[in-house]
Amino acid sequence: MVTSRSTAKPGAFPIAKPDLIEGMAKGMAVLESFDTQRQRLNATLAAERAGITRAAARRHLLTLTHLGYLETDGSYFWLAPKVLRFSGSYLATARLPRAIQPTLNRLAAQVQESFSVAVLDGDEVVIIGRSGFEWKSSGDPKAAPARVLAYGLHLGARLPAHATSTGRVLLAAKSKSEFGAWLKAKTEHGSLARLTLHTATDPRKLKALVEQVRLDDYCLASEEHELGVHALAVPLRDMQGRTVAALNVVSSPQRLRVEVMQKELLPLLLDAARELRSLL
Domain boundaries defined on the chain: 17-84, 94-279
> Percentage of residues in the chain with pLDDT exceeding 70?
88
Angle of helix 176-188 versus helix 165-172 axis, rounded to 10: 130
Contact 211, 247 (CB under 8 A): no
Number of neighbours of residue 162 by Cβ within 10 angstroms? 27
The band of 124, judged by pLDDT with boundaries at 50, 70 and 90, is very high
Residue 161 pLDDT > 50: yes
The band of 144, judged by pLDDT with boundaries at 50, 70 and 90, is very low
Residue 128 pLDDT > 80: yes
Q: What is the pLDDT of residue 153?
A: 63
Residue 87 to residue 222: CA distance in whole angstroms:
29
Q: What is the DSSP letter of 259?
A: H
Mean pLDDT confidence for 142-167 = 71
Please state, rounded to an integer, the average pLDDT across all residues of the chain: 86
Q: What is the pLDDT of residue 12?
A: 62
Residue 229 pLDDT > 70: yes
The band of 157, judged by pLDDT with boundaries at 50, 70 and 90, is confident
Higher pLDDT, 192 or 37: 192
The second-level CATH assignment, the architecture, of 94-279 is 2-Layer Sandwich (3.30)
Mean pLDDT confidence for 179-198 = 90
Q: Say whether domain 17-84 belongs to CATH 1.10.10.10.
A: yes
Residue 183 to residue 206: CA distance in whole angstroms:
9
Q: Specify the DSSP element, H or E, that contains 127.
A: strand 124-131
